[in-house]
Amino acid sequence: MTGATVLVVEDEVRLARSIVLYLGQRGFRVRIAYNGQEALERIAEARPDVIVADIMMPVMDGYALCRRLRTDPATCTIPFLFLTAKADDRDRVRGLKMGADDYLAKPCDLGELRARVDVLIANVAMPQVHEK
């Protein structure tokens, strides 16, 4: 699944850079936004193939970002993964009910993050294969 664009929405600079480096070395094009509002600007510039977003961020949190994306016909189909320190089952359920496609608790293994990103991209590509 290399060549796919991943938008990482994370206010913790060191973690964001670690994800960018890890995924970038594996063939992904990775862009960073440090809050939900900045993410909306990045998405307007160029639609990503997958969004990996934290929940607790300044300006606009991940829940608000997910809600905005899911209510907009132009962005409602972009795969969305929450990567967050909020590991409580209630938070996980809230994120999934809000429309997130996956939910991963921090700290996480970057290999697992990559595997989940790969699955989300494959799931989007799957219907197109069957339509041909």
pLDDT confidence of residue 129: 45
pLDDT confidence of residue 126: 63
pLDDT confidence of residue 2: 62
pLDDT confidence of residue 57: 84
pLDDT confidence of residue 19: 92
Decide: residue 89, CB within 10 A, 0-12 exposed, 13-18 middle, 19+ buried: exposed
pLDDT confidence of residue 114: 93
Decide: residue 25, CB within 10 A, 0-12 exposed, 13-18 middle, 19+ buried: exposed
Each residue's pLDDT, cut to its tens digit, for the chain (132 residues) gives 468 999 999 999 999 999 999 999 999 999 999 999 999 999 999 999 999 998 888 888 889 999 999 999 999 999 999 988 876 778 778 878 888 898 888 888 899 999 999 999 988 766 554 444
pLDDT confidence of residue 41: 95
Q: Which residues contact 34 (CB under 8 A, 6 or more apart)?
A: 9, 10, 11, 13, 16, 57
